[in-house]
């Protein structure tokens, strides 16, 4: 990566956090979310509301922390179901087995569903069913699942403030200050406790920001402008 950086004129990246080296040549283009596919549609599950997390079962995704948070949410007396949608890769099988065992030990088997992998075409329907999506990937992992959820008009709690510009006025509610189970549970509970109209309005605002900053069409336009700029600079130098 370092060699490629020094041989390049520009480095294009989805987010500044995604590139762990020098910034002088960095151009942030945003993710290319197909917001025609990942779009609102229908009402979320209501009885009980669905807490969703999309991503592989892995330490970097914070799956174990989310399970502990669901236990804390149950302790708060909240009604909910939780779905963990995503695959398990070979290197994480022991971790995933530990997560499943912890769910059983806590007696959360009827609350938390280990859905496993689903086809990409099925993901929008999962996001639309959710009242809130939770993404616990750390800084440096600008996970598109949070953006897909927002594109579908659903709030997504996130673990780092790299998402703050997209979250706009809702950043203080949706960026988690820490990953303590009670902190996550309190933030999830607050979103679940919103009036449905208020949650819909939040989702609509998040979609607008996601389309503007991370939509596929916008990404294509930004990339074309970058290439034209580089071509103009090359011609001027020739």
pLDDT at 143: 85
pLDDT digits (tens, 9 = 90+) for 114-129: 999 999 999 999 999 9
For the chain, the first-to-last Cα distance in angstroms comes to 27
pLDDT at 203: 96
Q: Residue 149: count other Cβ atoms within 10 Å of its Cβ.
A: 32
Residue pair 158/175 in contact by the 8 Å Cβ criterion: yes
pLDDT at 27: 86
pLDDT at 1: 84
CA–centroid distance for 97 within its chain: 23
pLDDT at 15: 77
Residue with the two structure tokens 């009670």: 182
- Residue 133's contacts (CB-CB under 8 Å, 6 or more residues apart) are 51, 52, 53, 54, 127, 145, 146, 149, 154, 155, 156, 157
Residue 155 has φ and ψ, to the nearest 5°, of -60, 145
pLDDT digits (tens, 9 = 90+) for 181-216: 999 999 999 999 999 999 999 999 999 999 999 998
Low pLDDT (below 70) residues in the chain: 140
pLDDT at 142: 76
Domain 50-214 sits in CATH 1.10.10.10: no
pLDDT at 198: 95
Residue with the two structure tokens 């942030």: 28
CA dihedral 214, 215, 220, 222 (to 10 degrees): -40
Closest CA to 163 of 127, 137, 197: 137
Q: Give CATH 3.40.50.2000 domain extents, the chain.
A: 50-214
């Amino acid at each position: 990566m370092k060699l490629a950086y020094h041989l390049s004129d520009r480095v294009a990246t989805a987010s500044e956090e995604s590139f762990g080296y020098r910034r002088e040549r960095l151009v942030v283009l945003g993710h290319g979310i197909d917001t025609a596919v990942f779009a609102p549609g229908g009402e979320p599950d209501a009885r009980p509301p669905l807490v969703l997390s999309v991503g592989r079962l892995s330490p970097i995704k914070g799956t174990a922390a989310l399970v502990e948070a669901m236990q804390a949410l149950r302790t708060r007396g909240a009604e909910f179901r939780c779905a963990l949608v995503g695959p398990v890769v070979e290197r994480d099988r022991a971790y995933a087995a530990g997560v499943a065992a912890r769910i059983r030990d806590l007696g959360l088997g009827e609350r938390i569903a280990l859905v496993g992998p689903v086809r990409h075409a099925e993901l929008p329907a999962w996001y639309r069913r959710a009242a809130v999506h939770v993404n616990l990937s750390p800084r440096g992992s600008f996970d598109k699942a949070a953006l897909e959820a927002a594109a579908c008009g659903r709030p997504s709690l996130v673990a780092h403030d790299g998402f703050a510009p997209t979250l706009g006025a809702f950043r203080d509610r949706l960026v988690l200050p820490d990953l303590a189970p009670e902190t996550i549970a309190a933030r999830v509970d607050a979103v679940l406790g919103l009036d449905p109209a208020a949650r819909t309005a939040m989702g609509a605002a998040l979609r607008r920001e996601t389309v503007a900053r991370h939509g596929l069409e916008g990404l294509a336009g930004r990339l074309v402008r970058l290439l034209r700029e580089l071509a103009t600079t090359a011609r001027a130098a020739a």
